[in-house]
Amino acid sequence: MENGNAALNIVNEEHPLVAINSSPLTNEEKIKKISYHFKQIMQTLGLDLNDDSLKDTPDRVAKMYVKEAFSGLDAKNKPKISLFDNNYKYNEMLIEKNISVYSYCEHHFVPIVGKAHVAYISTGKVIGLSKINRLVQHYSKRPQVQERLTVQIAEALKAALQTEDVAVVIDAVHFCVASRGIRDTSSSTITKHFSGRFANAETKNEFLSML
């Protein structure tokens, strides 16, 4: 289990971050700093921060960024991985599908919303089902691009389970497409990662048919 969690730090380092594991700021210091700068943005836009509805918005946004939307940037928040012996000798694929994805596009800081479908084939260990969801949530809670998010989830699972037999598919709507620019509300983006036995066409097709 320690190897799995240690490997998550390696995955973290693949993100474009500055000293992810050694930030000089506490969460409260981050909130204070973000609140100050967001207040400047709002005032620059011409908003009246004396208004009852707006006066606490900088603090609310700052707390949301640090404690919720971007909490995956803090390595301390990575989920602890619980592994169990595969006592039932189950050797077929295990699929956790329709996992909610809520992330933010790193290009415009607007939402990415969709579903992740994750599968693996045990080589002796199984992971607690909720931990798969937590891994998806952890890497989603960062400014992201969907391609990177897909790979990070897959690599984290492979490291934790010590197997290459992992598949990840994400189908998501990008609000940088839906709410601005082209404003196409009907399109979605699909990314996928197949490794190990899932790279085999028969296994891959079996997985996809169950989605």
Q: Annotated catalytic sites, by residue?
A: 105-108, 146, 174, 176
Helix (H, G, I), strand (E, B) or coil at 192: strand
Sign of the torsion angle spanned by Cα atoms 135, 140, 142, 148: positive
Paired residues of 83 in beta bridges: 127
Please report which residue ranges of the chain form alpha helices under DSSP H.
2-13, 27-44, 57-64, 129-140, 146-161, 175-178, 201-209
Sign of the torsion angle spanned by Cα atoms 57, 62, 65, 67: negative
CA atoms of 39 and 59, how far apart (whole Å)? 9
Paired residues of 104 in beta bridges: 111, 143
